[in-house]
Amino acid sequence: MSNKPVPLTTPDIAATPQETATMNQPQESPQPVITPEQLAALLGQQYPPTSQQAAIIGADTGPLLVVAGAGAGKTETMAARVVWLVANGIVHPDEVLGLTFTKKAAQQLSRRIRQRLARLQIAPGLRTIDPAGKIAKALAASAPEVSTYDAFAGNIVGEFGLLAAIEPARRLITDTEQVMIARQVVQDFTGELTQSVKAATLADTVRQLANGLDSHLISEAKLTEETRALIDLIEQAPRAPRQREALNKTLQEIIDRQQQRLELLPLVQRYRQRLDDLDVTTFSQQLAQAAHLAATYPRIGEQLRRRYRVIMLDEYQDTSHAQRVLLRSLFGTGDNSLTVTAVGDPMQAIYGWRGATASNLANFVYDFPSSNSDGTTCPAPKAELTVSWRNPNTVLDCANLVSNEILGSPTNPARPVQPLTPRPDAPAGDVDIRLLADAEGEEQAIVSWVASRYQQALDEGHADEFSCAILVRTNKAAPPLATALAAHNIPCEIAGLAGLLFVPEVADVVAFATMLVDPGMDSATLRILLGPAVEIALEDLTALLQRARNLQGRSRIPGEDTQAGDSLEELADHWLLHAPWRDRTGADQPHIQQLARQLAAAITQEPAPRAGLADALADLGERDRYTSGGVQRLERMSAMLRQLRAVASRSTIVDTLGEIIRLTGLRVEIYARNHPGAPGSSGAAHVDQLLAEAARYQEIPGATLRGFLEYLRLAEEAEGGLRSGEITPAPGRVQIMTAHKAKGLEFAHVVVAQADGNNYPSEYFLTKAHNTWQKTVTEFPPSLLGEDSPTHHDEALPQLILDPDMNRKEIEQALEEHQLEMKQHLAEEAARLLYVAITRAEQDLLVTAYRQTKRNRPLGFSTLVDTITSTYPELLRYEAPVAGSDTATSCTDDLHHEAESVQRTAAELELFQRWLAAPLLGTPPEPIAGVRDSAAAMGVYPADHLQQRRAGMVQGRAIYDSLAAACPTASEDPVDAEQSATTAARLVSDPGNAVAAPHAAPEDESLVAGDDAAAQLVNLWQQEVTALIAEQQRQQQATVELEFPSDVTASDMVAMASNPDAYARRLARPVPFQPNRFAKRGTALHQWLEERFDGQGMLDFDDLPGTGEFDPQGEELAQLKAAFQHSPWASRQPAFVEEPFAVVIGDTVVRGRIDAVFHTGDDPTAGWQVVDWKTGRVPTGAKREQVAIQLAVYRVAWAKLVSEKYGVDIPADSIDAGFYYIGANEFVAPSTLPSEHTLAQLVAHTASRAVAAIAASDADAAETLD
């Protein structure tokens, strides 16, 4: 497809010159009739807006920048401004567009605005400001639109993409799918690269490079020009005095990285072309396309400005350059009647690593100018929100010290926002800053601090409202803290982790799926065999492994321990070295060796598949090799795998995974362990998320279960194991999350952990290796970032300035200084992250770090924390001995720990070997000296998967067994209800006596006789248990009642005739059939025939842009079309095409569609012929007779339809019927077809056999599984 823009011809966005002139002129807005304070009173709000909030809410229409500090009520103010504009009749609700970053934030903003508007709609005083009722009518009929920035860009492409020949309906793909496509591109690449890089790493680099170019709107030509200029400048610069001829290592490395970036551009081009070929797109590509459309076609903005008159831009400091161009092109017109409000905080710009451009906030006033009365423009006005409604005084003092380090003194007029001030009734708050001796000490200090506050909540009776968060710098720091909190019985959860594939139940489903498609992947099989689903003994595992080796059947060369997985190439090498003829005379002659090498080179097939444990499960061999209990478990698992393989062979990926979950009872286990209704419970959210991922993957053409498993493997690398299921945080639990995840949240108690110089600004931070453009190919020079004209670039980034007259030494110094400036820029972002973390606290705050050594340099707090403690020394508590922390001691300690680690590793290896050699089940080996908790580490095999739940499960099983014995069954007369209820009540009230006789006299009749409520409850239990037992007995019956459908299709009739038993089984256990290309081909051809005979629309599908690029039927469909065009049927015109019918045959309604009905002669009661088009082969033998059932149904149906229409009885045998096989050019018209009576007998016969068929199926399944 050509990328050349097409002319703008879309009717709905075309405008006359007069309309365009009117749209470009400022429009008068209605005068306000109510103030923000009056509106708050009208809505019954408890507190009126502050003077700062009121000024923003009631500001004139036009562009406005609102700089709002943390906790300053920006969301409330944005919602109030929208309501004020609606209440004053300045805008209709559906003319409001709100944009933010996350779906959750969009939902919150939308909910806030809608709630306020709903309150306005029913406000008693609305009539005073809206006597005509126009506002009330608008509120009842419309609502504002709130979306994410990404979704908005997608809508732009979807609505206007065809203007630039951009396919608007492309599928968005995830990072993992991007990696899959990039890897294929890398594998197919035949060019040369100067740098040696692993294919997997190279693929991810190509993906990141393409996304970066799109996000920053950098053209490949501009990147090449900029890079070549830098390389030439360095290489051609004169040498400084006493410099060598060759470039030194530093400059050469910089040149190599720039050259490598250019070398990857052909791969980026191929990667983008592959995306086009697959008709998919990425978020960054979609955003770049939206920005291009908005900047290239001004009429898009004209239409959207007519649609939206109020635009609210949330978190504007986190927007990228592409988003800036998109929004500026659409709404930056200088029209004061267009209200564009951007809200952001420069101190919360923490996503530069994700492509955000921090200077967008400052540039807003220039990108969205305001109009003067004389027609000129000026920068948009700016307002501030600086009153913190969240933080106490002491916390604010700390936060303001951090902001002063970044933004400068409050007296500086250039400071973008003033420091935060506390609300009038703000408490003092409590801040505790601690420097600990080591990581273990920091962990203990955090747990102790949290435990004291949690205990206080318990004592005061509101533990379920306990609000606390521990903010860490990296995800890997979260699990140890969660373990430590759990050890102190403090409820907690780790928020926002990816790791879906590491959730136990998800890993089990993936393991089962892996066993189906990759039996040689023993790690998956071992997970299931050693888990609670099977839990086989070590003897059985050993026997199963031996069976796998037997199945391999690979001959071994004497003296060589050739593994089962050796490739054919390796065996050829063995033959070359160890063949018997080597000892014969002349065996070492060159021609013989050459022959052997040619043999090895000729073996080009893939390595022979290795027989794995799953293969052994499918073919267990002699049963006497296993234990008696083990053979039962293995046979049950073997039967389950056979059933799953049958499902997988004909089902979609989602259906296969769903069947795994059903057969294994995994969902029941999840709910038993984690009730879905409990607060904060994950329930089956993680498993459902896996199914959702599978559903998305199924959209890929040619998707298979094997491909999906490969996709999951890549997801572990690209996305950290995919995002887990969405879980609502439980009240009363400590939330552990990264500081980035905490943005926008607030908690009563906050811990800022890892506040050291390694994670936050310090002298050491500036010496660390950071990803900058000089040494990282996926980063770009600052001169290219944010550059859409020579005078607009990202002023927040330091710029590299090189003079052509510089020598190499001067260039190297300039590059080093620029590198330091880039690190300082990254340090500023880390400082803002610390500010974000501190300002999450509503009551009290703990900041911790521990003493450590980095590059022989002692390291403690970040310099920002040092600034706080130097200003407020009373906040600091040292819990680490200052003495002994010198460099020499620290280095000695490091060496000691390293030596200890080596010893521990060796000891743990020995421990593992002893575990393998343990002679008896459940008998751990002796502990090993030098390995802490070695006995505990050994554990007991089999593992106790129930652990602390075992006692309750055993007790519950005893109660259930006793209740089952006490309650009546479905096949016998019920025992006395009062006696059974009393027995049940006694068993439940005294579980320890659960094994008593089921019909023993009750010890306490008062439980039933004296307490009606208890009697009703116990009777209810009795009914439920009785129903469960009856259901279990029905499931164990030899026959199963099957209700035959009263409505079938003509294809069902054919299936009945072909195999009634299989049809009956499908009725009882319907499983979707796997779509195949032949079915799709037939569907496409039928559509073409229908259009050919029945007329075409004004615009054919093939005439749409892009539809000619991908045809899933390919040449076969074209050949079938050509064959039909040359057939005698092409010249005939059917009377009816795709004619639907519904007739009663016997007691069953049969529905279907007749492809074509032809008529000859003038008599409407005669001369009819029904024809069914066929794209497959002409059947033979019994199959030919079976498919004739379809024609018989069509003939009977058409006879009834014609008879009913003309009021005469037309016999079915007077109507001709036949199949036309297009590919073979053969018309098949059976001489005899079954009558209506015969068809009715077929239905009745199939229904009578259905029960027997299902019974046999169930008996086979029960025998196999048991």
Q: Which residues pair with 736 in a beta bridge?
A: 470, 494
Rounded to a whole number, what is the distance in angstroms from the first to the last CA of the chain? 59
75 is in an annotated binding site: yes
Contact 554, 562 (CB under 8 A): yes
**Alpha-carbon gap, residue 603 to 600, rounded angstroms:** 6
Q: List all residues 6 or more positions away from 65 whose beta carbon is below 8 Å from its beta carbon.
A: 341, 342, 344, 361, 364, 365, 380, 381, 382, 383
Could you say which DSSP state residue 374 is in? T
Q: Are 290 and 157 spatial neighbours (Cβ–Cβ below 8 Å)?
A: yes
The residue length of the chain stands at 1266
Rg (CA), the chain: 38
What residue spans of 553-589 are helical by DSSP H? 568-578
Distances (CA, A) of 494 to 105, 478, 497, 728, 736: 20, 7, 7, 12, 5
Distance CA 531, CA 156 (A): 50
835 CA to centre of own chain: 30
Closest CA to 796 of 497, 476, 416: 416
Positive/negative CA dihedral, 474, 480, 483, 485:
negative
| Cβ(1173)–Cβ(1220) below 8 Å | yes
Q: Residue 71, annotated ligand binder? A: yes
**By the 8 A CB rule, do 721 and 502 touch?**
yes
In sequence order, which residues have a C-beta less than 8 Å from that of residue 831 and are 6 or more positions away?
402, 405, 406, 760, 761, 864
Q: Which residue has the tokens 């006033």?
A: 365
Q: Is the peptide bond before 942 cis (omega within 30 degrees of 0)?
A: yes
Q: Is 742 exposed, middle or buried (0-12, 13-18, 19+ CB in 10 A)?
A: buried
Amino acid at 177: E
Query: Hey, what are 858's tokens?
Result: 């002692």
| HEC string for 1046-1086 | CEEEHHHHHHHHHCHHHHHHHHHCCCCCCCCHHHHHHHHHH
Q: Where are the alpha helices (DSSP H) in 368-503?
A: 393-407, 439-459, 478-487
DSSP state of 1260: H
Distance CA 1129, CA 1147 (A): 36
Annotated binding residue at 69? yes
User: Could you tell me whether strands 1216-1221 and 1148-1159 are parallel, antiparallel, or unpaired per DSSP bridges?
Assistant: unpaired
Q: 1126 burial class (0-12, 13-18, 19+ CB within 10 angstroms)?
A: exposed
Q: Is 70 annotated as a binding residue?
A: yes
Question: Angle between the 685-698 and 504-517 helix axes, to the nearest 10 degrees?
Answer: 40
Q: List, in sequence order, every residue forming a beta bridge with 68; answer none if it has no partner.
A: 385
State the DSSP string of 191-217.
S--SS---HHHHHHHHHHHHHHHHHTT
> How many CA atoms lie within 13 Å of 934's alpha carbon, on the beta-carbon side?
19
- Residue 244 in tokens: 């060598």
Q: Is 72 annotated as belonging to a binding site? A: yes
Cβ partners under 8 Å of residue 1032, min gap 6: none
Half-sphere exposure of 1040 (CA within 13 A, CB side): 19
Residue ranges at the known binding site: 68-75
Residue ranges at the known binding site for ATP: 68-75
